[in-house]
Structure 1
């Protein structure tokens, strides 16, 4: 394992950066400047990073006694911003466990591998796969304890949920982004819906179609998770002034499949003319 740079943080940063945090990593993530300083924008980014980590850390602590360590899959990883922060602030001290970053762009996968090597983060793997492909890949273990998907676009969030269900994940942490599939379905049947129900006025205009489609998508995802045996909490990730892609879905496996959630899922699909998604996105096992 390569040694990390042990240059101490400037005194002005001590109260803002967590003890043991890699300064080199914060520079790579553009939270610190190359001179190791925080400006107002990077200070805001740092607070957002720690805010998200606070949600996930509580769940990781519940898994701390997992035999062989915690196995986490980060879908739509991009530059693996989230994975690196989780490793630096939690996994590094645990000495066990592994993070798998899943990303379709090979150049980002290679850069993440190089950064992990420089930092000595040897229990991180980066796989050049789509979220859908990862469910069938032998590069991932059969068991995954936690699934994260931060701004995985459109149906990639649904693929991450399907992956989590297949791997019997104890926790899923999802921040959906660019939900377009249901908006497309609403558009296809708009004329029929307008004749059938006055509720179709909610998505008659294209802007409303996009916004309502996004809202319905996340509601259906939450019902699907509840019907599959998860307890679901929905909250804000950061203030709306920072990002409109702000909905954080936290799912905890309990094994108690809610019949009422399954029934409401079906009712909403029928009401909005989305029954075709029964056999693709929201198929429930008995």
Structure 2
């Protein structure tokens, strides 16, 4: 009887395979490998897998929209300032600094985040990488407008998935800081859906259009859609040229809408009129009129007694 022969199992060497030139070619020139590892866009070994390729695609696609705006803001030696609202781990801010501000040699990025632990981690990473022109403020978006740690004017405002009313707060911040550009990826916003559920759209409720929000899922989707339309009209009425597009590679999320606003100074009266009309049709004038820059209707102003 022959003794059984067992194949030797190869033991891991403990060394990772070197990063290939093909993988490096997928990165932008000058890109920090250390940063991409910290952001989990690259694996710990500095490799690209299926998930990291998807993340890299998202990052570069978004950067392609923002880079031309930064180039405009950097003309004639200007030092651009950028405020990133709802920054979280400052994923976007770090990428923008690495791909643009680092080589530019001037300008400043402000990351605004209400969670203190994330702010501390971002500060530590910026110091580790030598990204000296990045600051991180432990503030809500609403608080940031009057914050002493920010300049009176900000050139660009970004907000990626700032939840609920924080997206509107970021737009309000941009208007007050006279931002020349805003790049917004809106997030969930529940107020319009709540108003629809409460039956405030009385005129539309008597028409077949009420079917648009009869089911809860449709109510949320319609509320989100109406809110983003109102945001765009508000920006146009405030003197911005607005483009709405889709983020490629973010198909797994329904929140893949991108709003890009460039300041032209040409305030559209028609945009304000349409904004008011939509608010009126949906019964939202009292709840949201002031947020979108409209005066409170006379009927809602309390008159003095006596």
Aligned to 1:259: 269
Aligned to 1:19: 29
Aligned to 2:144: 134
Work out whether 1:173 is the aligned partner of 2:153.
no
Q: CA deviation at 1:67?
A: 5.5
In structure 2, how many angstroms separate the alpha carbons of the residues matched to 1:184 and 1:65? 45
Q: CA deviation at 1:136?
A: 1.1
Q: SS of the counterpart of 2:161?
A: strand
In structure 2, how many angstroms separate the alpha carbons of the residues matched to 1:143 and 1:195? 44
In structure 2, how many angstroms separate the alpha carbons of the residues matched to 1:58 and 1:156? 25
CA contact (8 A) 2:85 2:159 kept: yes
Aligned residues: 278
CA contact (8 A) 1:9 1:23 kept: no
Q: CA deviation at 1:184?
A: 1.4
Q: CA deviation at 1:180?
A: 1.3
Query: Structure 1, residues 208-235: CA drift from partner, whole Å, max 9, x if none?
Result: 1101000000000000100010000000
Q: SS of the counterpart of 2:186?
A: strand
Aligned to 1:5: none
Work out whether 1:248 is the aligned partner of 2:258.
yes
- More displaced stretch, 211-220 vs 59-68: 59-68
* Cα 1:144/1:284, change in 2 over 3 Å: farther
Aligned to 1:230: 240
In structure 1, how many angstroms separate the alpha carbons of the residues matched to 2:119 and 2:205? 49
Of 110, 113, 116, the residue aligned with 1:106 is 116
Q: SS of the counterpart of 2:185?
A: strand
Unaligned runs of 5+ in 2: 1-17, 296-306
* Cα 1:191/1:284, change in 2 over 3 Å: closer
Q: CA deviation at 1:69?
A: 0.4
Work out whether 1:282 is the aligned partner of 2:282.
no
> What is the TM-score with the length of structure 1 in the denominator?
0.93
Query: Structure 1, residues 58-87: CA drift from partner, whole Å, max 9, x if none?
Result: 111111126650000000000000000000
CA contact (8 A) 1:190 1:200 kept: no
CA contact (8 A) 1:74 1:149 kept: yes
Alignment of 1:87-166 (within 5 A): 87-166=97-176
Work out whether 1:44 is the aligned partner of 2:54.
yes
In structure 2, how many angstroms separate the alpha carbons of the residues matched to 1:279 and 1:133? 21
CA contact (8 A) 2:200 2:284 kept: no
CA contact (8 A) 1:132 1:156 kept: yes
